[in-house]
Structure formats: C-alpha cells, structure tokens
Amino acid sequence: DPKIIQKPKYLVAVTGSEKILICEQYLGHNAMYWYRQSAKKPLEFMFSYSYQKLMDNQTASSRFQPQSSKKNHLDLQITALKPDDSATYFCASSQEILGSSYEQYFGPGTRLTVL
Amino acid sequence: AQKVIQVWSTASRQEGEELTLDCSYETSQVLYHLFWYKHLLSGEMVFLIRQMSSSTAKERSGRYSVVFQKSLKSISLVISALQPDDSGKYFCALWELPNTGGLSGKLTFGEGTQVTVIS
C-alpha cells in the first residue's frame, strides 16, 4: 500500500483559478513538507509542518497556502494560478527531532499544468 | 549561488561495473546531514543513504556506499555491481541545522545526475 498519497496525479488548470493539492501520509511521521520541481530545476523546498504547525516557509508568494486538517494531512492550496506555477509538486514526510533530521519519504507528486 | 552541486548531469556504465557520483556542497553549519535520493521514472523519489557531518563511519546500504570528504565539502555516492534497474536520476541533498535552532527539515537539492546502465 502506498505510504504517501498525493491526489491528483495530474492537474490542468486555467490562469487565475484556484486548486488544492492533496497529501496524506501513513508513516506515522510528525513532520510533512512540500517541494516543487519546475522544468530543468532542482527540487525546491516550499514549506514544512511539524505537529500541524508551520516550521518553515520559503515560498515568496502568499498564493501558496498549506492546510493541515489532520496530523497526517498537508494539503496545498494555490490561488490565482499563473503559468509559471506549472511544476511537479512533491509532498514528503519524516520523523523530525530537534537538532537532527531523518530521511524524508516522498510521495509520487502532482504534476500541475497551468494554461 | 547553488549550495549543492552535482557536476555531471549524465553518467553511463556497463552492467556489473561500479559508478561514482560526485556532489559538492556549501555550508557554514557545523551540524548537517547529506542524503542521496533516486528519482524513478514512475515519479517516486526513493531515499538511498544518509551521511551525518558528525559521523566518521563509512556509510553503506546494500550496494550503495558513500565517500565523505568533509574538509573538501564533498560527498560521493558509489554504486557497485550496477544493474539495469539502477538507471534513474540521482540527487544529492543537504540538510542544515537552522540558525534559529528550531526545526525546519528543509532539504536543498542538487540538479541531479541521470544514470544509464547499459546491459
């Protein structure tokens, strides 16, 4: 069974619209993350949450809002979509403790295309 | 400036050979970790191995091992006895202890090296 579920796998949106990317993890981890991979760029860290609280936000735009309704959920709401938002968005999770970091496990990604 | 650099964008070897993938990084932190991941065609990102800055042990996991040269800020992933399934894109990633002393979990990735194993 998949340990980290991301829905949908593919998403096409029009400029100006709003979408929510879903992520659920079943690894019992206390921390969850969002990364983005645009064409020909390395994975780029966006957000991290621990116990449903924001730990770090490296996203310049407020159009990207993470939402954590449950401990094992971290959805990503993107408003006023732009073509530049086209990318594959990866959710990840790990067991995080102060002063160290264990490996992060990644979901399969949601490929978003904004027309 | 890029913090994690993987110089080679592609690499290819014959099945059964050994391959070394290089990664250099920049950090001013004393405590940091380095990770290697493999990106599969299916889209899955698979964790391979971790190296802690504080560790002098030669990390190894199955056919994967690392060569960690801390003073040079360099880490290499060595894959032995290559198999066709080893084909994929390999990423080096850096975790640094945040200056704030809090939690972040942020990984900084290199651009990856696309590996092809020839049968």
Greater pLDDT, B94 or A50: B94
| Structural contact between residues A115 and A11, judged by C-beta atoms closer than 8 angstroms | no
B57 vs B66: CA distance, rounded Å: 10
Among the listed residues A84, A82, A86, A104, the one whose alpha carbon sits nearest the alpha carbon of residue A94: A104
Looking at beta carbons, which residues of chain B come within 8 Å of A58?
106
- Residue A82, pLDDT score: 97
Distance between B78 CA and the closest CA of chain A, angstroms: 19
Q: Do A56 and B111 touch (CB under 8 A)?
A: no
Region A70-80: mean pLDDT is: 95
User: Residue B22 belongs to what H/E stretch?
Assistant: strand B19-25
What single letter denotes the amino acid at residue A52?
Q
Looking at beta carbons, which residues of chain B come within 8 Å of A31?
103, 105
Three-class DSSP category at A84: helix
Nearest residue, CB atoms, A55 vs list B46, B91, B105 = B105
A16-72: pLDDT as tens digits: 999 999 999 999 998 999 999 998 788 999 999 988 888 888 888 999 999 998 889
Q: Do B102 and A33 touch (CB under 8 A)?
A: no
pLDDT of B89 above 90: yes
Chain mean pLDDT for chain B: 92
The sign of the torsion formed by the CA atoms of A13, A4, B41, A56 equals: positive
Region A74-82: mean pLDDT is: 97
Q: Do B33 and A101 touch (CB under 8 A)?
A: yes
- Which range of A93-97, B39-43, B75-79 scores highest in mean pLDDT? It is B75-79
Chain mean pLDDT for chain A: 92
Establish, for the pair of chains A and B, how many residue pairs have beta carbons separated by less than 8 Å.
Answer: 72
Chain B residue with the nearest C-alpha to that of A100: B97
Res. A76 pLDDT band, cuts 50 70 90: very high
